[in-house]
Amino acid sequence: MANVAVIGAQWGDEGKGKVVDWLASRADIVVRFQGGHNAGHTLVVGEQTYKLSLLPSGLVRGKLGVIGNGVVVDPEALLAEIDRVRAQGLQVTPETLRIAENAILILPLHGALDRAREAARGEQKIGTTGRGIGPAYEDKVARRAIRVCDLAEPETLAEKLDDLLLHHNTLLKGLGADTFEKQALLDRLLELAPRVLPFAEPVWERLDEARRAGRRILFEGAQAVMLDVDHGTYPYVTSSNTVAATAAAGSGVGPAAVGFVLGIAKAYCTRVGAGPFPTELHDGVGTLLGDRGHEFGTVTGRRRRCGWFDAALVRQAVKVGGIQGLALTKLDVLDGLAELQVGVGYRIGGETFRRLPAGMRAQAAAEPIYETLEGWSGSTRGARSWADLPAQAIKYVRRIEELVEAPVTLLSTSPERDDTILVRDPFED
């Protein structure tokens, strides 16, 4: 039996939350391994809707949730999210949630710096959520970050704050933003410590024991491959590596433990914020996709940009992300469209490409090359077997498989967790 890593194959918001929730019924442990509370997963369970940002989706299934060392954790946001889902009836205790003791903390100064920088960029905004994720990762690689384990050592915490404030207050002052006082930050962290520390442990030990015992681990990624800080549409990306290889480093397991890599992609394409989007639609079809798909960011609340499925982009994500199978979501949004377009490449300055180049100007200039496919008149919504799908919908899925060079292993036909067609169980690979 394999473990499974779930990652986004586009620009995020592909419906990972539902897929992870659905797969969690087959798992024992669900692990978040990168990102912060800038990612959002919406889970619909009967009449209840859960909006999660930091908490692993498996908690909704009653599974053990683990926040790995690759995640940057805002303690205020974490505790607020715990309180919110507890009010909805979920059990979140140190028995159901564990946090890596070496995970990096996001402090209020990180968000302040994030927002001040974005404001200073003016029209060149990247589209950050302003929640401090980028500055926290910067502190991590600069070796001045405060970690979860530091909450247990007040003297260490005080010393580290001196170093942190020397750096951040200088930047904030230069940007014309308010600076921070050490004592206020120290007092607040020490106030939060008794609520956070009961969840902390060396999670790599727990995961190693689970692996040796043959327990199934589901690694839950945030954002998506095209937002990866190395492989995405830089600089319009997130501040961490989103590819499946990060599941190992971000949770403390060896690469062989990651198992089957499942990529999530919508049957069309969306993006939040700035950055290139070759197949974006600015017409009535784009509006229709947004309305039918309820395309608003879980975290930002912003309207998502919508466009046709970009097979060249997803093929690229398959290659660099190590994707072995695809979960295709929101097929029902395309119901009733007489004609569908699929991006199969790009035209840039007279040349054609099957990949999106790395350069900023080249990405911005990329024009899609489309292949036209026939739509379908029947409904796919709620389908739970291939027999429930119109013939042209099946042809659409099969053509996507050919273009992205990866099989579709799951097909989601509505937000409801059971409206899913399972082609191949990733845990049985």
pLDDT at 39 over 70: no
CA 400 to chain CA centroid, nearest Å: 22
Sign of CA dihedral 263, 269, 272, 276: positive
pLDDT of residue 200: 98
Confidence of residue 385 (pLDDT cuts 50, 70, 90): very high
- pTM of structure: 0.93
DSSP characters over 74-143: -HHHHHHHHHHHHHTT---STTTEEEETTPEEP-HHHHHHHHHHHHHHGGG-----SSSHHHHHHHHHTT
pLDDT of 102 > 60? The answer is yes
Residue 359 pLDDT class (50, 70, 90 cuts): very high
Active site residue 41: yes
Task: Give 152's Cβ-side CA count (13 Å radius).
Answer: 10
CA dist., res. 304 & res. 296, Å (int): 6
Is residue 159 pLDDT above 90, yes or no? Answer: yes
Q: What is the pLDDT of residues 44-62, one digit of tens each?
A: 777 778 888 899 988 888 8
Mean local confidence (pLDDT), 109-115: 92
Per DSSP, the residues of 401-413 read HHHHTS-EEEEE-
Mean pLDDT of 88-113: 95
Q: What is the pLDDT of residue 125?
A: 78
- Cα angle value 426/373/262 (rounded, 5°): 15
- Does residue 151 register a pLDDT over 90? yes
pLDDT reported for residue 290: 93
Q: Is the dihedral of CA 413, 418, 423, 425 positive or negative?
A: positive
| Residue 239: closest CA among 72, 66, 16 | 72
- Right CATH for 4-100+199-260 from 3.40.440.10, 3.30.465.10, 3.10.20.30, 3.30.750.24: 3.40.440.10
Residues 185 and 161 sit within 8 Å (Cβ to Cβ): yes
> CA-CA distance, 397 to 291, in Å (whole number)?
22
**Mean pLDDT of the chain, nearest integer:** 92
Spatial contact of 358 and 364, defined as CB atoms under 8 Å apart: no
- The active-site residue out of 13, 21, 310, 419 is 13
DSSP 192: H
Average pLDDT over residues 376-399: 94
pLDDT at 1 over 60: no
Tell me the C-alpha distance between 104 and 423, whole Å: 38
pLDDT tens per residue, range 283-333: 999 999 999 998 876 555 668 899 999 999 999 999 999 999 999 999 999
CATH code of 104-196, in short, is: 1.10.300.10
The percentage of residues in the chain with a pLDDT greater than 90, rounded to a whole number, is 77
| Domain limits, the chain | 4-100+199-260, 104-196, 265-428
Cβ–Cβ < 8 Å for 112, 172: yes
Among residues 37, 41, 110, 168, the one annotated as catalytic is 41
**Cβ–Cβ under 8 Å, residues 378 and 294:** no
User: Which one-letter amino acid corresponds to residue 262?
Assistant: L
The Cα 210–Cα 365 span in angstroms is 48
Give the residue from 229, 231, 265, 260 showing the smallest Cα distance to 247: 260
The correct answer on CATH 3.40.50.11540 for the domain covering 265-428 is no
**pLDDT given at position 297:** 64
**Helices and strands, number each (H, E), in the chain:** 12, 20
Which residue type, as a one-letter code, is found at position 117?
A: R
Beta bridge partners of 66: 31, 98
For residue 246, what are the contacts with CB-CB under 8 A and spacing of at least 6? 33, 34, 70, 221, 240
Summarize the confidence of residues 78-87 as an average pLDDT: 94
Span 208-232, average pLDDT: 94
More confident residue, 214 or 49: 214
Q: Is the pLDDT of residue 417 over 80?
A: no
Query: With 0-12 CB in 10 A as exposed, 13-18 as middle and 19+ as buried, what is 284?
Result: exposed
Give the whole-angstrom CA distance, residue 188 versus residue 245: 35
Q: Give the C-alpha distances (Å, rounded to integers) separating 42 from 17, 241, 346, 414.
A: 6, 22, 32, 13
- Give the pLDDT score at 144: 95
Q: Which residues of 328-343 are buried (b: 16+ CB within 10 A; e: fewer)?
A: bbbbbbbbebeebbbb
pLDDT at position 296 is 77
Q: Which two three-digit tokens encode residue 237? A: 């990306």
Helix axes 133-141, 154-174, angle to 10 degrees: 120
Q: With 70 as the cut, is the pLDDT of residue 257 above it?
A: yes
Mean pLDDT over 204-216 rounds to 95
Rounded CA-CA distance 59/198 in Å is 17
Single-letter residue type at 151: L
Confidence of residue 120 (pLDDT cuts 50, 70, 90): confident
Write down how long the chain is.
429
Q: Is pLDDT above 70 for 250?
A: yes
Using the predicted structure, report yes or no on whether residue 375 has a pLDDT greater than 90. Answer: yes
Q: How far apart are CA 111 and CA 128, in angstroms?
A: 10
Q: Is 13 annotated as catalytic?
A: yes
pLDDT digits (tens, 9 = 90+) for 334-347: 999 999 999 999 99
